Structure 1
Amino acid sequence: MTMPTSLRPNVRRGVSAIALGLAMTAILPGAAMAQDADPAGADDAAVDGAIVVTGIRGAINNSVQAKKANTSIVEVVSAEDIGKLPDLSIAESLSRLPGLATQRLDGRANVVSIRGLAPDFTTTLLNGREQVSASNNRGVELDQYPSELLNGAVVYKTPDASLIGQALGGTIDMRTVRPLAYGKRAIAVGARFEMNDLGKLNPDISDKGYRANISYIDQNADGTLGWAIGYARMQSPTAEERFNAWGYPELTDGTNTAFLIGGAKPYVKSNELKRDGVMAVVEWEPSDTFHTTIDGYWSKFKDVQRLRGIELPLAWGNSTLLPGFTIENGLVTKGTWSGTEAVMRNDIVHRDSTIIAGGWNTKFKPNERLTLELDLGYSRLKKTEENLEIYLGTGRGAGVGARETALGFEMRPNGGIILNPSLDYADPNLFLITDPQGWNSCGGAVPNCQDGFVNTPKIKDELKSLRLQATQEFDGPISSLRVGANYSDRKKSLDDRGFVLTSNDYPANTAVPADYLFDPISLDFIGIPGMVAFDSWRYYNDGNYTLTDEAGWTPGRIFNDYTIREKVLTGFVQANFDADAGDTPIRGNVGIQIVHSDQTGSSFYAQVVGGVTQSTPVTDGATYTDILPSLNLSIEFADNSFLRFGAARMLARARMDQLKPGGGVNFDSSRRNNTDIDASPWSLELGNAKLRPLMADTLDVSIEKYFGQGAYVSLGGFYKYLENYIYRQDDAFDFTGFEVPDGGTVATYEGIAKQWRNGNGGRVYGAEGALSLPFATFSGALDGFGVLASGSYTKSSVREGGAAPISMPGLSRWVVNGTAYFEKAGFQARVSGRYRSKFLAEVSGLSLVRDKVMAKSEFVVDAQIGYTFQSGTLEGLGILLQASNLTNEPFVTYYNNDPRQIRDYQNYGRNFMAGITYKF
Structure 2
Amino acid sequence: MLLFKPSLLSLALAAAGASVSAYAADEVDTTATADENIEVIQVTGIRRSLQESQSLKMSSSSIVEAISAEDIGKLPDVSIAESLARLPGVSAQRLDGRANVISIRGMGPDFTTATLNGREQASVNDNRGVEFDQYPSELLNRVVVYKTPDATVMAQAIGGTVDMQTISPLTHGEQTFAVGVRGEMNDLGALNAGSSDSGYRGSISYIDQFADDTIGIALGYARMMSPNQEERWQAWGYPEDSAGNSVLGGAKPFVRSSELERDGVLAVFEYAPNDFYQTKVDLYYSKFTDDQRLRGIEIPAAWGANGGVEATKIENGLVTEGVIRGAEVVVRNDVNKRDAESLSVGWNNKFQINDNWNVEADIGLSKAERTDIGMESYSGTGRGTGVGAVDDLGFKYNGDGSYNFTHNLDYSDPNVIKLGDPLGWGSPIDANTQDGFINKPEIEDELKSFRLAAEYVFDSSAIRSIKFGVNYTEREKTKLDKGYFLTLKGYDGSDPNYVMTVPEQYILGATSLDFFGMGNVLSYDSLAFYNDGNYIETDVADVDASRAVNSWDVSEDVTTAFVMATLDTDVYDIPLTGNFGIQAVQTDQSSNGTASTLENGQLVTNANFDSASYTEWLPSFNLGFEVAESQILRVSAARTLTRSRMDQMNANIGYNYEENPTTGVNWTGNAGNTQLRPWLARQYDISYENYFSDQGYFALAVFYKDLENYTYKQTSFIDFTDIVPPQNPTDNPIGSFEQWQNGQGGYVQGIEASFSMDFGMWASVLEGFGTVLSGSYNESEVKETADSEPTTLPGLSEKTFNATVYYENSGFEARVSSRYRSDFLGEVTAISLTRQNVNVKAETVVDAQIGYDFSESGIDALYGLSVLFQVNNLTNEPFTSYTGDDARHVRDYQNYGRNFMLGANYKF
TM-score for the superposition, normalised by structure 2: 0.93
Pair 1:347 & 2:346 matched? no
Tell me the CA shift for residue 670 of structure 1.
Answer: 4.1
Q: CA deviation at 1:758?
A: 0.7
Give the superposed CA RMSD.
1.5
Aligned twin of 1:30:
none
Superposed displacement of residue 738, structure 1: 4.5
Tell me the equivalent position of 2:907: 919
Q: Within 1, Cα distance between the matches of 2:106 and 2:420?
A: 46
**Structure 1 residue aligned with 2:102:** 112
Q: Aligned with 2:422: secondary structure? A: coil
Q: Distance in 2 between matches of 1:847 and 1:224?
A: 54
Question: What SS class does the counterpart of residue 400 from structure 2 fall into?
Answer: coil
Aligned mates of 1:635, 1:733 — CA distance in 2 = 57
* 1:245 is aligned to 2:241: no
Structure 1 residue aligned with 2:18:
none
Residue identity in the other structure for 1:689: T
Work out whether residues 343 and 392 of structure 1, in 8 Å CA contact, stay in contact via their aligned partners in 2.
Answer: yes
Match of 1:621 in 2: 611
Answer whether contact 1:590 1:631 (CA < 8 A) is retained. yes
Q: After TM superposition, list the pairs within 5 Å mapping 1:314-325 onto structure 2.
A: 314-325=301-312
| 8 Å CA contact 1:667, 1:740 repeated in 2 | no
Residue 896 of structure 1, CA deviation: 1.3
Give the deviation of 1:247 after TM superposition.
Answer: 1.0
Amino acid in the other structure paired with 1:539:
F
Instruction: Give the Å deviation of 1:737.
Output: 5.1
Q: Distance in 2 between matches of 1:746 and 1:630?
A: 59
Alignment of 1:310-459 (within 5 A): 310-404=297-391, 406-442=392-428, 445-459=429-443
Structure 1 residues 236, 616: CA separation in 2 closer, same or farther (over 3 Å shift)? same
Question: Do the aligned residues in 1 keep the contact of 2:542 with 2:548 (CA within 8 Å)?
Answer: no
The structure with higher relative contact order (CA 8 Å, sep 6+) is 1
1:535 to partner: Cα distance? 1.8
Question: 1:80-119 to 2 correspondence within 5 Å?
Answer: 80-119=70-109
Pair 1:893-2:881 in alignment: yes
Aligned AA for 1:360?
W
2:13 matched residue in structure 1: none
For 2:660 and 2:146, the matched residues in 1 are separated by 55
Match of 2:742 in 1: 758
Aligned partner of residue 772 in structure 1, secondary structure: strand
Candidates 701, 705, 708, aligned match of 2:690: 705
Which amino acid in the other structure matches residue 393 of structure 1? G
CA distance in 1, matches of 2:309, 2:222: 57
Which residue is 2:17 aligned to?
none
Asked if the contact 1:321–1:335 (Cα under 8 Å) also holds between the matched residues in 2, the reply is: no
Q: CA deviation at 1:500?
A: 1.0
**1:146-225 equivalent positions in 2, closer than 5 A:** 146-225=136-215
Q: Is the 8 A contact 2:311 2:319 kept in 1?
A: no
Q: Tell me the residue number matched to 2:14.
A: none
Structure 2 CA distance for partners of 1:609 and 1:440, relative to 1, 3 Å: farther
Unmatched 5+ stretches in structure 2 = 1-35
Deviation at 1:324, TM superposition (A): 4.3
Which residue does the alignment assign to 1:286? 273
Deviations 1:176-226 (A, max 9, x none): 000011111100000000000000101222110000000000001511110
Show the counterpart of 1:10: none
Q: Over residues 366-391 of structure 1, what are the superposed CA-to-partner deviations in whole Å (9 max), with x where a residue is unaligned?
A: 11111100000100011000111111
Q: Aligned partners of 1:322, 1:483: CA distance in 2, in Å?
A: 70
Which region of structure 1 is more displaced relative to structure 2, 748-757 or 137-146? 748-757
The AA in structure 2 aligned to 1:661 is A
Aligned length: 863
**Could you give the per-residue CA deviations for residues 3-60 of structure 1, whole angstroms, max 9, x where no partner exists?**
xxxxxxxxxxxxxxxxxxxxxxxxxxxxxxxxxxxxxxxxxxx983332312110010
- In the TM superposition, what are the counterparts of 1:870-881 in structure 2 within 5 Å? 870=855, 871=858, 872-881=860-869
Deviation string 1:700-730 (CA, Å, 9 cap, x unpaired) is 0010000112110001100001011100123
Does the aligned pair in 1 maintain the 2:308–2:326 contact within 8 Å?
Answer: no
User: Aligned partners of 1:335, 1:912: CA distance in 2, in Å?
Assistant: 39
- Residue in 1 aligned with 2:251? 264
Q: CA deviation at 1:663?
A: 3.2
Please state whether the residue corresponding to 1:551 is helix, strand or coil. Answer: helix
Alignment-mate amino acid for residue 461 of structure 1 = D
Deviations 1:733-788 (A, max 9, x none): 453454458x4325554433221111111010000000110112212222211100
Paired with 2:658 and 2:535, the residues of 1 have a C-alpha distance of 35
The answer on whether the counterparts of 2:230 and 2:255 sit within 8 Å (CA) in structure 1 is yes
Shift of 1:317: 1.4
Aligned to 1:537, the other structure's residue is in SS state helix
Q: Which runs of 5+ in 1 are unaligned?
A: 1-45, 673-677
Q: Which amino acid aligns with 1:563?
A: D
Residues 664 and 340 (structure 1), Cα distance of their counterparts in 2 relative to 1, 3 Å cut: farther
Identity rate of aligned residues, in percent? 50
Q: 3-state SS of the aligned residue for 1:57?
A: helix
Aligned equivalents of 1:526, 1:612: Cα separation in 2? 45
Specify the alignment match of 1:229 in structure 2: 219
SS of the counterpart of 1:286? Answer: strand
Identify if the C-alpha distance between structure 1 residues 326 and 664 changes in structure 2 by more than 3 Å, giving closer, same or farther.
farther
Structure-1-length-normalised TM-score: 0.92
**Letter of the aligned partner of 1:880 in structure 2?**
L
CA deviation after TM superposition for structure 1 residue 731, in Å: 3.2
How far apart, CA to CA, are the structure 2 residues paired with 1:499 and 1:702?
54
> 2:808 aligns to what?
823
Distance in 2, Cα, partners of 1:901 & 1:319 = 23
Counterpart residue identity of residue 607, structure 1: T
Post-superposition CA distance 1:406-438 (Å, at most 9, x none): 211112101211111121112110000111011
Corresponding residue number in structure 2 for 1:864:
849
1:609 deviation in Å? 3.3
Letter in 2 for 1:441: S
1:503 aligns with 488
Conserved? CA contact 1:496–1:847, under 8 Å:
no
Letter in 2 for 1:300: K
Residue number among 575, 595, 600 corresponding to 1:605 in the alignment? 595
Question: Residues 658-708 of structure 1, C-alpha deviation per residue, up to 9 Å, x if partnerless?
Answer: 111223312243469xxxxx9543221221110000110000001000011
| Cα 1:836–1:394 shift into 2, 3 Å | same
Task: Supply the distance in 1 between the matched residues of 2:610 and 2:226 (Cα, whole angstroms).
Answer: 43
User: What is the SS of the residue equivalent to 1:308?
Assistant: strand
Aligned to 2:451: 467
